[in-house]
Every structure is written in structure tokens, then in C-alpha cells.
Homo-oligomer: A and B are copies of this chain.
Amino acid sequence: MSDALRRFKSEIFQGLAHPTRIAIVELLREGELSAGTLIEKLRIEQANASQHLAVLRAKQIVVSRKAGNQVYYSIRDRALIEVLDILRRYFYAQLDNTVNMLREVASERPKSRMRTHR
């Protein structure tokens, strides 16, 4: 695979590598929202939101549209939502693994079961 493609992918990941930016993308899942609405829902500083939006724009994850006083943001490509959905499933799978591991550990020590639990 080409180096360009790897750099491109890593830039997208970089763009999504912050909880606030994930939150933004998820808020935009149902359609466009103004910067102001995003700020309100995220409950963060205006400047900070604007900076995160700048990152998302730079990495081509969102596009913006000016309407008078306001700027509306939307996700550039549905593929990114697919990616987030896959990770959601992944997250729950990992959770299950962890739970099962804990169960195994618990049942491997029947002599002391539930005793040292807190």
C-alpha cells in the first residue's frame, strides 16, 4: 500500500483522536448543526470548540457552510459514521471479553469465592 494512503489514513485517525471531536462527529450524525449549537451541546469554551472544528476541517472530516451570521457543519462522508459504528461494536466486544475474563478468574478460585470481593 502506498505511503500517501497511509499518511492519509493516519491523518483521519489523528483528526478523530480526541473525545471532543468524536462527540462533534456524533452530534453531526443526524445532519448539519451550527457552530453555536455544537458549543451549546458540548458545553465547552467557544474558542476550544472552534479549534476542534478547525482540526476536523483541516483533516477533511467535516465541511462547513456559511449562512449569514452562522456557520453550519456537517460530516463530509458517511463512511466515517460507519467507522464509528464498527468501533462501538468493538467496544462492547472488548467489554464482554473483560467480563468473561473476570468470571473465569472468579471461578478458578472457588475456595475463596466472593470473599475477597469489594
Contacts and interface: CB of A to CB of B under 8 A. Distances in A.
A22 B79 CA distance: 18
A71 interface: no
Interface stretch (A1-9, A32-40, A103-111): A1-9
Count identical subunits in the complex: 2
Interface residues of A, number: 34
A87 B86 CA distance: 12
27 contacts: A1-B23, A3-B19, A5-B91, A6-B22, A6-B26, A7-B19, A8-B91, A8-B94, A9-B22, A9-B84, A9-B87, A9-B91, A10-B16, A10-B17, A10-B19, A10-B21, A10-B22, A13-B13, A13-B14, A13-B16, A14-B17, A79-B86, A79-B87, A80-B90, A82-B86, A83-B83, A83-B86
